[in-house]
């Protein structure tokens, strides 16, 4: 029973963790270390080996590739959270990786694109909770770009919980889609905003110029099919000409804390 629960939880949270756990149970009878903490440490090491060394080699055979774990001179892309990568949430189809690498080059060397959740490495239809749609390698979330209010330097990091939840809300005169959705009874729409402290890195403001530039580059990329942000941001950034940039519907969650793109 205990092993079934562990298998289920590890599979749900990391996709390959359950399989690594079964393999480890089979392997451990050959090990000399028998104490619980020793076996826990060995399992962690075995899991990390599978996640960091084996998966990046195997996943391309199944049509998915990992996004970079850190930015370099050649590509300015990095994750908001290494923990999410250790949970194998940063896999995408190669075309999506190419699109994001191209976007980072077009943004210039100053800007590092920060990605949030992608997809698991295997199997279409395997859910990446709590997302509804990140299950086929074709979806990726990106952090907005934030700039210092004092000296214009860029934050080059995500805000909030693993990059989610710190919102750039509607201001007076803008369409307030979160209020409309909540009024219609979609209680989950702004749930994360209520759970996540909003004062993360307040010295860095939402950069209208950089976010506009990034969203226009992504919208012009033929590989990208849809981009979701809140309607008030689309209007504020004057992106009305791009039909690909759309409202995602009240059944989702608000998208003024991150950008969602998909092939």
Residue ranges in contact with Zn ion by CB under 5 A: 141, 260
The two structure tokens encoding residue 19: 């399989």
Name the 3-class secondary structure at 67: coil
Residue placing its CB nearer to Zn ion in the complex, 239 or 257: 257
- CA distances, 165 to each of 27, 95, 102, 196 (Å): 41, 28, 27, 6
What are the backbone dihedrals phi and psi of residue 92, each rounded to the nearest 5 degrees, phi first? Answer: -145, 165
Residue placing its CB nearer to Zn ion in the complex, 239 or 253: 253
Question: Distance between CA 191 and CA 185 in Å, rounded?
Answer: 12
Residue 110 CB, nearest approach to Zn ion (Å): 26
Cβ pair 235, 259 in contact under 8 A: no
Residue 97 CB, nearest approach to Zn ion (Å): 16
The two structure tokens encoding residue 111: 């800007």
Residue 141 CB, nearest approach to Zn ion (Å): 4
Residue 253 CB, nearest approach to Zn ion (Å): 9
Residue placing its CB nearer to Zn ion in the complex, 141 or 257: 141
Identify the burial level of 69 via C-beta atoms within 10 angstroms of its C-beta, where 0-12 means exposed, 13-18 middle and 19 or more buried.
Answer: middle
Please report the DSSP string for 175-234 in residue order.
--HHHHHHHTT-TTTTHHHHHS-S-SSTTEEE-HHHHHHHHHHHHH-TT--EEE--HHHH
Residue placing its CB nearer to Zn ion in the complex, 138 or 141: 141
C-alpha 85 chain-centroid distance: 9
Residue placing its CB nearer to Zn ion in the complex, 135 or 182: 135
Residue 208 CB, nearest approach to Zn ion (Å): 22
Residue placing its CB nearer to Zn ion in the complex, 141 or 168: 141
Residue whose CB is nearest to Zn ion in the complex, by number:
260
Residue 134 CB, nearest approach to Zn ion (Å): 6
């Amino acid at each position: 029973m205990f092993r079934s629960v562990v298998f289920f939880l590890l599979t749900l949270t990391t996709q390959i963790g359950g399989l690594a756990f079964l393999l480890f149970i089979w392997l451990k009878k050959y090990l000399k270390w028998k104490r619980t903490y020793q076996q826990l440490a060995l399992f962690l090491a075995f899991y990390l080996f599978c996640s960091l060394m084996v998966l990046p080699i195997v996943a391309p055979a199944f049509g998915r590739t990992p996004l970079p774990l850190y930015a370099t001179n050649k590509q300015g892309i990095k994750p908001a959270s290494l923990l999410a990568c250790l949970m194998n949430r940063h896999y995408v189809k190669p075309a999506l990786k190419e699109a994001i690498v191209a976007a980072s080059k077009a943004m210039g060397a100053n800007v590092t694109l920060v990605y949030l959740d992608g997809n698991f490495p295997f199997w279409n239809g395997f859910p990446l909770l709590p997302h509804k749609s990140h299950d086929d390698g074709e979806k990726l979330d990106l952090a907005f770009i934030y700039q210092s209010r004092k000296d214009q330097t860029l934050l080059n990091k995500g805000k909030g919980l693993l990059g989610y939840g710190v919102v750039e809300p509607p201001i007076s005169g803008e369409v307030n889609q979160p209020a409309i959705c909540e009024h219609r009874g979609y209680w989950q729409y702004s749930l994360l905003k209520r759970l996540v402290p909003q004062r993360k890195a307040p010295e860095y403001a939402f950069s209208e110029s950089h976010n506009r530039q990034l969203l226009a580059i992504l919208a012009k990329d033929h590989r990208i099919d849809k981009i979701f942000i809140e309607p008030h941001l689309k209007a504020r950034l004057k992106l009305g000409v791009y039909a690909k940039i759309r409202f995602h519907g009240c059944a989702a969650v608000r998208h003024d804390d991150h950008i969602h793109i998909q092939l």
